[in-house]
Structure 1
């Protein structure tokens, strides 16, 4: 299976970076190759310019990184996102990735007359692995469930991801090293 990891954390000593290393290790152990999109390292700009937005309805992009990321997605069967949850949501750089890369006519078309999305990507799975300071139940039931609802339930479903899952290391800033280690070990059941 062709896997692409979309990683979004600016600090290489973070727990998110440890998650990235563990996921890569698990994929190697299974003999699976993967592509890494490191949004911060790449210097990805998540903000639309007026020139870019003018091309939105045509499904076109000006940013060469967007085109590079799209070329990677064409051959991807599984997407794995790794990022921290900030203010009960994905970081802006991840939202910008979704906005600018998953373009109309590339990732989806709108089915008339309803406008419901028909996915154009052939994704078997989208997996989101996140960390948060808040408990997962709080994010799901009191903060709008943006990861499970909007990201997985609408956006990634809408572009063609057949199976969608979210695993979160809650209270990552307050938990023990033993629990962090157990979380890393437990990732094997998702990879």
Structure 2
């Protein structure tokens, strides 16, 4: 059985990110799509490597039971939906740590003389949904487009996912209930 995996990364249940999560799950339920939720903060995921974990990195092995569980989920996933805030024009450390510790070689990629060859090609699509205080254009054109280039264009592409997109609700500090609702409504086209 394949399903969508939602990877959620926000510690505060009254955030707009949590509202996005609720809307995404509502849309998946309405479409009758099976999904698994990985709530990194609720799970108590530690994004930092220990010395013992890093010693196994070149073998593509993990010690953390959460990492092992997440890897099992990924083997049955056909779509990824990430939901997170953009902090300092980049991923939160907990999302970067998820990539670092879960997307290990032998599971997610093979090392080749010219780079990596993705092994998670059964995952057909990855959608990153984020919020930011900066306007989206600023993140894309001034701050280096870390989500579009590094996360989606390098890491997610590197593990074998061909279809990738980024939806950002920028300028959140100046948003209104109407603009937030419009963003939630727009998610139906992408979820």
When normalised by structure 1's length, the TM-score is 0.97
1:40 aligns with 2:35: no
Deviation string, structure 1 residues 106-158 (Cα, Å, up to 9, x no partner): 100012x21x2111112100000000000111101111111000000000000
1:118 aligns with 2:117: yes
CA deviation after TM superposition for structure 1 residue 4, in Å: 0.2
CA deviation after TM superposition for structure 1 residue 174, in Å: 1.3
For structure 2, the residue ranges without an aligned partner over 5 or more in a row are none
What secondary structure is seen at the aligned counterpart in 1 of 2:174? coil
What secondary structure is seen at the aligned counterpart in 1 of 2:5? strand
CA deviation after TM superposition for structure 1 residue 71, in Å: 0.3
Paired with 1:20 and 1:31, the residues of 2 have a C-alpha distance of: 16
1:159 aligns with 2:182: no
Regions of 4+ moved over 4 Å: none
The correspondence of residues 88-167 of structure 1 with structure 2, limited to 5 A, is: 88-111=89-112, 113-114=113-114, 116-121=115-120, 122-167=122-167
Alignment length (residue pairs):
189
What secondary structure is seen at the aligned counterpart in 2 of 1:161? coil
CA deviation after TM superposition for structure 1 residue 177, in Å: 0.6
**Equivalent residue for 2:10?**
9
For structure 1, the residue ranges without an aligned partner over 5 or more in a row are none
What secondary structure is seen at the aligned counterpart in 1 of 2:173? coil
What secondary structure is seen at the aligned counterpart in 1 of 2:124? strand
Q: CA RMSD in A?
A: 0.7
Paired with 2:151 and 2:116, the residues of 1 have a C-alpha distance of: 14
CA deviation after TM superposition for structure 1 residue 162, in Å: 1.3
